[in-house]
Amino acid sequence: MGISGIDFVHGCSAIGAGLALIAGIGPGVGQGIAAGYGASAVGRNPGARSDITSTMLLGQAVAETTGLYGLVVAIILMFVKPFD
């Protein structure tokens, strides 16, 4: 029972989608570092809590973008099937 060419392409697309989600590691580390520094900043200056929180969330949301690009690539590989 041989594998036809198109099945091989679909399987490789699924593997590629899985590999694309390795991109989630970077934002995880980055957001953790940002949250850690945010916590220490609040500890040093509790009065500036709201400013620190909004700055931290903004930076985290920007850092999250690279991981979401991985998600978009994976979804395009899985559902749009550009290599058919």
Partner 1 sequence: MGILLAGDISEQFMIKGVLKMPFLFLGQEVWITDSILSMILISIILIIFAIICNKIIKKAKEIPTGIQNVVELVVEMIDNMVKGTLGDNAYRFRNYIGTIFLFILVANLSGLLGLRAPTADYGVTLPLGIFTFIIIQFQGFKNSGINNFLDLFKPTPILFPINIIGEVTTPITLSLRLFANLLSGVIIMGLWYGMIPVVFRFGIPAALHAYCDLFSGCIQAYVFSMLTMVYVSQKL
Residues near partner 1 (CB under 8 A) are 54, 57-58, 61-62, 64-65, 68-69, 71-72, 75-76, 79-80
Could you tell me the smallest distance in angstroms from the CB atom of residue 15 to partner 1?
A: 19
- Cα(22)–Cα(55) distance, integer angstroms: 27
Q: Of 2 and 65, which has the nearer Cβ to partner 1?
A: 65
Could you tell me the smallest distance in angstroms from the CB atom of residue 1 to partner 1?
A: 27
Could you tell me the smallest distance in angstroms from the CB atom of residue 2 to partner 1?
A: 27
Q: Of 47 and 79, which has the nearer Cβ to partner 1?
A: 79
User: Maximum distance among all alpha carbons in the chain?
Assistant: 70
- Cα(67)–Cα(16) distance, integer angstroms: 15
Q: Are 27 and 63 in contact (CB under 8 A)?
A: yes
Q: Of 14 and 62, which has the nearer Cβ to partner 1?
A: 62
- Cα(12)–Cα(7) distance, integer angstroms: 9
